[in-house]
Amino acid sequence: MNKIKNALISVSDKENLKNILHILKKNKINVISSGGTFKSIRKLGFKCKEVSEYTDFKEMLDGRVKTLHPKIHSGILFKRDKKKHKKEMQKKNYDPIDLVIVNFYPFETSIKKTSNNEKLIENIDIGGPSMVRAAAKNFKSVTIITDKEDYTELITELKKFRGKTTYNFRKKMAAKAFNLTAYYDSIVSEWFNRELDLKFPERKTFFGKKISQLRYGENPHQKSSIYISSLKSDDINLHQLSGKDLSYNNYNDIFAGLEILYSNLKAPSTVIIKHANPCGVSSNKSALTSFINAQASDPISAFGGIVACNFKISNKIAIEISKTFFEVILAKGFDKKALKILKKKKNMRIIDISKFNYESKTTGRFFDNSFLLQEKDDFIFQRKKLKCVTKNKPTGKELKDIEFAFRVCKYVKSNAIVVVKDNSTIGIGAGQQNRLDSCKIAVQKARKFQPKHLINSIAASDAFFPFADGIKTLINAGVKTIVQPGGSIRDKEVIEAANKARIKMIFTGIRHFNH
């Protein structure tokens, strides 16, 4: 370890700077700085040499060029144990810079505050990341600090080792520095991609800021954390009002529920999710009725699930909710009395989603060293392109239920069958390897919990029926209208079976797999 002689400080966030300056002064470490940081250091009463004085080069281009100078980068990058490097530094009369404390222009914050492209571009930091990368590369000799949260550990190191830092500390800070530069650059590149509506660039980087460490992952032996990846917000805007900390599985179910809830369900709607699949969905003029109907769809599966509502929870709805064990309640606000009732269940997570919003147009899935990226499935079908392939035609009222059934169907794991009556699910068959089994499960659940509603009900399928056996199962249960994409080589056979049973069948021409 070599004692630190010179430190370069250039920070946008000047909080807690005084603590650092005290320890540097105590260890007789010279400070170099520029711009606003230089003024702040002097204002705090500490000695500091301005970068332009240090380099004998006046900053230019409105401050775009100030730290981009050989004296700065040579001081950071030179190998202290290499004779050639030492000679070159002595010849130029350049001093080593052993400590670099830098954070960047607030480009990420600026995106959230302004849409003025000129202002945003001026907040793309060039000198800062250049110094950080240089210092991180040369971590064998240089300490790089990019986060004010690390000031405490730096102070501890300097106190303990009398103006020096350890190799392991420098290496750890270097890793953190490269994470920051990668994160910063990925935000800038994502901003450009969105400006150009470029969903699938040749090279894709993801950025994320850790929100919290979760208790565990999908299973107790797996570690897990949640990150935010947003150009618009510093928060995922799920405001937890009560209950235990959220788990990996809670978040997985929450996002599955929110996807359905934010899929343009305009009437008061309730979604109940279990293991990332809906077990009940209902839209109704009455918010209370929508909850009751959603739960009635499959009350056994609803137990221990999550409830997502696009309305404010009233006292009456809270009383109904509290009759069953739910893991999470999501809603657009809670009345005071309702909140008091729900908070009696200490472990139940109560979350306000009033400020939640979707941002990205794509969705991804990771597989070890590769990932898939696709556009979000925001489409349902075009009414004008619906094709009634049977002799009997649906009414206008039935078309509303047809759309509701097909909308819900696209959020159910494939193969998916959803049976609906009056804008409420009454039977859902999910995640089966064949469509016939999904039909049997949907019918079985409807017969168990909603037998009276099966007569004249509507069924939706996320993909075509390869054989007539699936629709026969639905018909025998009382389904009178089926909506499906069509496109099977046996469509004729399926249509004949539908006509024979005098039911109505609609082809959408749109498939909605959700694996």
For 31-57, the pLDDT digits (tens) are: 999 888 999 999 999 999 998 889 888
Mean pLDDT along residues 110-122? 87
In a domain, 327, yes or no: yes
In order of 246, 306, 351, 414, the CA distances from 218 in angstroms are: 12, 16, 21, 21
132 lies in the same domain as 30: yes
Q: Which of 137, 164, 199, 204 is catalytic?
A: 137
Q: How far apart are CA 309 and CA 312, in angstroms?
A: 8
Q: What is the pLDDT of residue 118?
A: 87
Q: How far apart are CA 511 and CA 380, in angstroms?
A: 9
Q: Which of 148, 172, 199, 275 is catalytic?
A: 275
Give the DSSP H/E element, type plus range, for residue 199. Answer: none
342 lies in the same domain as 392: no
345 lies in the same domain as 390: no
Phi, psi of 192 (to 5 degrees): -60, -45
Mean pLDDT along residues 10-31? 92
Nearest C-alpha neighbor of 481 from the set 408, 422, 431: 422
Nearest C-alpha neighbor of 424 from the set 264, 258, 265: 265
11 lies in the same domain as 66: yes
Q: What is the pLDDT of residue 61?
A: 86
Tell me, letter by letter, the H, E, C secondary structure of 3-53.
CCCEEEEECCCCCCHHHHHHHHHHCCCEEEECHHHHHHHHHCCCCCEEHHH
Q: How far apart are CA 477 and CA 444, in angstroms?
A: 9
Q: What is the pLDDT of residue 396?
A: 87
411 lies in the same domain as 455: yes
Question: Per-residue confidence at 265, pLDDT binned at 50, 70, 90?
Answer: confident
Nearest C-alpha neighbor of 80 from the set 26, 16, 150, 2: 2
Q: What is the pLDDT of residue 123?
A: 85
Nearest C-alpha neighbor of 510 from the set 337, 387, 329: 387
Residue whose tokens read 């370890």 = 1
Q: What is the pLDDT of residue 311?
A: 97
275 is catalytic: yes
Q: What is the pLDDT of residue 58?
A: 84
CB-based contact 168:125 (threshold 8 Å): no
CB-based contact 100:131 (threshold 8 Å): yes
316 is catalytic: no
1 has pLDDT over 80: no
Mean pLDDT along residues 71-90? 91
In a domain, 120, yes or no: yes
308 has pLDDT over 80: yes
Give the total number of structural domains in the chain. 3
| CA within 13 Å, CB half, 503 | 26
Which of 331, 352, 373 lies at the terminal end of a domain, its last residue? Answer: 352
Q: What is the pLDDT of residue 60?
A: 79
Q: What is the pLDDT of residue 114?
A: 85
Of 297-311, 354-368, 430-444, which gets the smallest average pLDDT?
A: 354-368
Question: Per-residue confidence at 360, pLDDT binned at 50, 70, 90?
Answer: confident
The CATH number of residue 294's host domain is 3.40.140.20
Q: What is the pLDDT of residue 232?
A: 86
Write down the mean pLDDT value for the chain.
Answer: 93
- For a pLDDT cut of 90, what percent of the chain falls above it? 82
Question: Per-residue confidence at 106, pLDDT binned at 50, 70, 90?
Answer: confident
Model-level pTM?
A: 0.87
Which of 195, 222, 252 lies at the terminal end of a domain, its last residue? Answer: 195
DSSP state of 385: G
Q: What is the pLDDT of residue 108?
A: 84
Phi, psi of 2 (to 5 degrees): -100, 145
The CATH number of residue 93's host domain is 3.40.50.1380
For 417-476, the pLDDT digits (tens) are: 999 999 999 999 999 999 999 999 999 999 999 999 999 999 999 999 999 999 999 999
Q: Which amino acid is at 274?
A: K
Q: What is the pLDDT of residue 152?
A: 94
Question: Per-residue confidence at 301, pLDDT binned at 50, 70, 90?
Answer: very high
Question: Per-residue confidence at 223, pLDDT binned at 50, 70, 90?
Answer: very high
For 239-256, the pLDDT digits (tens) are: 999 999 999 999 999 999
34 lies in the same domain as 104: yes
444 lies in the same domain as 500: yes
In a domain, 218, yes or no: no
179 lies in the same domain as 252: no
42 lies in the same domain as 116: yes
For 166-208, the pLDDT digits (tens) are: 999 999 999 999 999 999 999 999 999 999 999 999 999 999 9
Mean pLDDT along residues 362-375? 91
225 has pLDDT over 90: yes
57 lies in the same domain as 127: yes
Show the tokens assigned to 26. Answer: 């105590």
Q: What is the pLDDT of residue 456?
A: 95
Q: What is the pLDDT of residue 264?
A: 80
Q: How far apart are CA 276 and CA 251, in angstroms?
A: 10
- For a pLDDT cut of 70, what percent of the chain falls above it? 100
Pairing between β-strand 306-309 and β-strand 269-274 as defined by DSSP bridges: antiparallel
Q: What is the pLDDT of residue 417?
A: 97
Question: Per-residue confidence at 151, pLDDT binned at 50, 70, 90?
Answer: very high
Q: How far apart are CA 352 and CA 330, in angstroms?
A: 6
* Full residue range of the structural domain in which residue 58 is found: 6-195
387 lies in the same domain as 347: no
Q: Which amino acid is at 214?
A: L
146 lies in the same domain as 98: yes
Helix axes 83-92, 70-77, angle to 10 degrees: 150
107 has pLDDT over 90: no
Q: What is the pLDDT of residue 336?
A: 95
